[in-house]
Copies of this chain bind each other. A is one copy, B any other.
Amino acid sequence: MPGTVEDVDVPSASDVLRRCRELVRPALVDAVGRLHPWTGEMAAYALGWSDTAGTPEPGGSEGKGVRQALALLGAEAVGADAACAVPGAVAVELVHTFSLLHDDVMDADALRRRRPAVWKAYGTGPAVLAGDALLARAVTGLAGTPGDHAAAAAVRRLCDALNDLVAGQAEDLRFEHRPWDGPGAVGPEEYRSMAEGKTGALLGCALALGAVLGGAPEPTVAALDRAGRHLGLAFQAVDDILGIWGDPATTGKPVHADLHRGKKTHPVLAALAGGSRAARELGTLLASARPTDAAAAERVASLVEEAGGRAATRGEARRHLDAARDALRATPLTRTAARELDVLFAGLADRVM
């Protein structure tokens, strides 16, 4: 029924993200302003606020701010004012930026959002230092939350996510040394555990922090954390698809990047797990050599698709998106925030669906 209040009231995912970025921005600017000027300059570059000369580049390469939005919506969903979740939003955004800086060093990724990664622009040592500064500032801000109980609970939540994040990154790096098949191959459960740590933990933490700072009871906090973790698994599946078939103009990364690096991503693992002729040919190809040229990577990508890897990963994304939405629906949340979360969740998984 067009024209009802319901329809008019549902904003788009990008509307939700924009509103949240605007609410968080002053506190995020303040946090970055408290860093040493040099690490602050690198942080501003990493956040897409300025170029390497420190000149403002408004809106140029800024991230969508998914994590900060989840923190604010987490608070609103439990009936609190978004403002109380701003320290949580700042913390997860700073931790996310820290992890991008350090992961790009570890993965030797030279590009990030179509610009040189911080380690490429400033050097490896400075990028490590800037990451450390962001991490320290993230915890500091949260530890300064009014009320010892809220501060302690929020810091514990962030710490749990940090430990998972680092362990997930460790798994991801170790996977690169594992064989493609045989008893040492990476199994689906191992892949899921890695992806949940690397991507799900911080998304879950963002939602949970909003709820903690909004004063929600533990079962609600746990449900939001679970929803965010499933969202992260959907997100990682989508990212894996984009890492093989994504348009470099959109992803800001080279085509077939994950194939050239021999990364153990979901589409390739799922393709190999099938028993088709394409799967066997793919296995032989990957066992012989890492695809270093464009033609070899193209051939691998075709075989992964033919063996059903792309479809399986799309299915994985959809299953986790559904599980995330189910976790939200099973929890008593305020209606407006719940709908905005639903729109946001769908928008994030929509990139390849």
- A residues with a Cβ closer than 8 A to B are 34-36, 38-39, 102, 105-108, 124-126, 128-129, 131-133, 135-137, 139-140, 143-144, 148-149, 151-153, 155-156, 159-160, 162-163, 165-167, 169-171, 173-174
Contacts and interface: CB of A to CB of B under 8 A. Distances in A.
A197 B244 CA distance: 45
A166 B39 contact: yes
Contacts of A167: 35-36, 39, 133
Contact of A140 (B128, B129, B144, B163): B163
Contact of A163 (B131, B136, B170, B174): B136
A125 B173 contact: yes
28 contacts: A34-B163, A36-B166, A36-B170, A36-B171, A38-B170, A38-B174, A39-B166, A39-B167, A102-B129, A106-B125, A106-B126, A106-B129, A129-B166, A132-B169, A133-B163, A133-B170, A135-B135, A136-B159, A136-B163, A136-B165, A136-B166, A137-B163, A139-B159, A140-B156, A140-B159, A143-B156, A148-B149, A148-B153
A238 B34 CA distance: 31
Nearest to A136: B162
Copy tally for this chain in the complex stands at 2
Q: Is the interface of A mostly helix, strand, loop or mixed?
A: helix
Contacts of A170: 36, 38-39, 129, 133
A160 B132 contact: no
Contacts of A155: 139, 143, 151-152, 155
Given A132-B169, A136-B162, 9 more contacts: A38-B174, A102-B132, A125-B173, A129-B166, A133-B167, A136-B159, A139-B162, A143-B156, A148-B153
Contacts of A102: 128-129, 132
A144 B153 CA distance: 9
A121 to B, nearest CB: 16
A155 B149 CA distance: 13
A105 B132 contact: no
A89 B256 CA distance: 47
B148 A162 contact: no
B129 A173 contact: yes
A34 B128 CA distance: 23
Contacts of A173: 38, 125-126, 129
Q: Could you say which of A124, A143, A171 has the most chain B C-beta atoms within 10 Å of its C-beta? A: A143
A166 B133 contact: yes
A102 B162 CA distance: 18
A129 B169 contact: yes
Contacts of A34: 163
Nearest to A133: B166
Nearest to A40: B170
Given A128-B128, A166-B36, A156 B171 contact: no
A340 to B, nearest CB: 30
Contacts of A139: 139, 155, 159, 162
Contacts of A107: 125
A310 to B, nearest CB: 29
Contact of A105 (B128, B137, B143, B156): B128
